[in-house]
Chain A
């Protein structure tokens, strides 16, 4: 079943991809006989039968994950998006601190080690990267560190 759901989603994407390849993509003029549209068309026409085959003969029945695991994974994805969202405006130190706190606590870390770890990664990581390796990381709200 899991296979089929995933294949179903892929099928929709692949059909969309193929339709775009056949209708939208077009060059005003071109010097090669294939143009920009031929290769995507071939890919679409290979992908669709492959997906139909998987729909017909799936081999992974279920992902076998309990609801609790799904919850954890959903939380992780939310945290990652939150981290992405806040990375620039809040700056590396604060965003990293918040993200590391949240994730390490969810994974069962004790509060004090988690605090020490998260603050350490945020602050040490920032200065190691920006001052020693000259990498570009956002300072965000902590503008004094710029």
Chain B
């Protein structure tokens, strides 16, 4: 423990150096702006700005602190276009649209933005605190999570998403299967066989998650806007001056904490990141809610849970990278690359050999989180004004932003056609009352489920009993069962007692 405190003290000394402090703030601000662009999230933000940071010739700790600021800022910024435009800013912000955008439509954009900033802050800080005190222990737990345990985790994730089932269960199931089918396109990760690619090189490696998200959500939203505009049912929203209140925060405090815990736990596992974390947090929250009828129509819990989770998972993902040198996700792989570029090798030795970087980075995360909260809250009003842009200009703007987001990262015009096609498909799904969230979740979870199941069976040589050999798996299967059964049983009991189930949520 003493080592942690002395490490943190020396880290804060580095991070509070006026120049480094300035870099954290600058990075957070730039990151927020980049993250707010649909399609450009933390990974791409850091990757794109990495050469600049390198070219500026800063000391390694300063450059890393700048990049960490950008990374954190982008994570915060991702929620902005989710809430305001119903276009997810990045992969982790998909679930944020479900309740965040309805809140904005109800004239509570300011409240949604400020509440999500606070949820992000709590989630991010929660993760950094746990990381600085229990990092090595958590990391060694995370690597013992075997492929068969991932299978159990995916079963749990699917179970907690049972709460997403809408009025027509068959359509929900079909939507999820469509997502799973989309994910099966491309080279099979186990045998290297191409599936459903028809010789088109652009989809050999599968359809990029970003393209699916921007297409199904962003472009479908665009088509939806034009349709409403043509029908004359679309009105420009008034400037809303709403802001989060203490009462709201009291209402969601446990939601935020639960979301942070789920997000952090899923984040530290290599291979699962913010998108899985926020999906599970949302599903579990809805499942756990006494009255879940408002979810999807602007329930604050449906906004707070995924936002706390995706920021906590971003912090959690740093744990195996910093303590073991294992990049667990795309985001941490690029940060690992950044460290290597500065001749710093992450891993246990970093804390001994380059403590100024290791602890300086951790301290800068504390500062970054606070800075982001301070930067973001005053900006809420400014961002909320975005909604007052006249529709005839806001609509083309969404398309341009989506095109920039998709093109600037990979420069492949093929992706532009893909988002348009997926947008048309997504619009039809919406019109026919399929919900889009199960499609996305099927897409995210399906690949992980199949790959890990087959990995587990390769390890066991085809013996299925491997799926039940670890406590991690058994506990997750029990949890999965509970998530499905408990709400049903509780609901029955309550009904038989004739308990009043009137909504508790403040309007």
List A residues at the B interface (Cβ < 8 Å). Answer: 2-3, 6, 10, 14, 17, 20, 25-27, 30-36, 39-40, 43-44, 46-47, 50-51, 53-54, 59-60, 63, 65-66, 68-69, 72-73, 76-77, 80-81, 83-85, 87-88, 92, 96, 99-100, 103-104, 107-109, 113-114, 117-118, 121, 125, 129, 133-138
Interface string of B214-252 (1 = CB under 8 A from A): 000001001100110111000000000000000000000
Closest 6 pairs between A and B when the two form their complex, measured CB to CB: A84-B416, A107-B392, A135-B408, A27-B191, A36-B188, A109-B392
Partner of B230, one of A32, A73, A104, A114: A73
Question: Dominant SS at the B interface?
Answer: helix
Q: A6-B428, A40-B195, A129-B404 are in contact. Are A32 and B450 (CB under 8 A)?
A: no
Which A residue's beta carbon lies closest to that of B449?
A: A39
Q: How far is the CB of A62 from chain B (nearest CB, A)?
A: 10
B385 within 8 Å of A by Cβ?
A: no
Partner of B433, one of A31, A34, A59, A136: A59
Question: Considering residues B33, B393, B396, which has the most beta carbons from chain A within 10 angstroms of its beta carbon?
Answer: B396
**Bound form: Cα–Cα A134–B229 in Å:** 35
Chain B residues within an 8 Å CB radius of A47: 174, 177-178, 181
**Bound form: Cα–Cα A84–B422 in Å:** 14
Question: Dominant SS at the A interface?
Answer: helix
Q: A32-B457, A73-B230, A84-B420 are in contact. Are A134 and B48 (CB under 8 A)?
A: yes
**Bound form: Cα–Cα A103–B404 in Å:** 17
Q: Do residues A51 and B408 form an inter-chain contact, with CB atoms below 8 A?
A: no
Chain B residues within an 8 Å CB radius of A30: 190-191
Q: A3-B432, A84-B420 are in contact. Are A107 and B395 (CB under 8 A)?
A: yes
**Bound form: Cα–Cα A3–B196 in Å:** 26
Q: Do residues B399 and A83 form an inter-chain contact, with CB atoms below 8 A?
A: yes
Q: Do residues B396 and A100 form an inter-chain contact, with CB atoms below 8 A?
A: yes
Partner of B420, one of A80, A96, A134: A80
Which A residue's beta carbon lies closest to that of B418?
A: A84
Q: Do residues B404 and A81 form an inter-chain contact, with CB atoms below 8 A?
A: no
**Bound form: Cα–Cα A54–B192 in Å:** 35
**Bound form: Cα–Cα A99–B450 in Å:** 41
Q: How far is the CB of B232 from chain A (nearest CB, A)?
A: 10
B453 within 8 Å of A by Cβ?
A: yes
**Bound form: Cα–Cα A94–B400 in Å:** 12
Question: Considering residues B34, B177, B190, which has the most beta carbons from chain A within 10 angstroms of its beta carbon?
Answer: B177
Q: A36-B188, A40-B195 are in contact. Are A60 and B433 (CB under 8 A)?
A: yes
Which A residue's beta carbon lies closest to that of B45?
A: A133
Which A residue's beta carbon lies closest to that of B181?
A: A43
* Residues 404 to 435 of chain B near chain A (Cβ within 8 Å): 404, 407-409, 411, 413, 416-417, 420, 423-424, 428, 431-433
* Residues 131 to 165 of chain B near chain A (Cβ within 8 Å): none
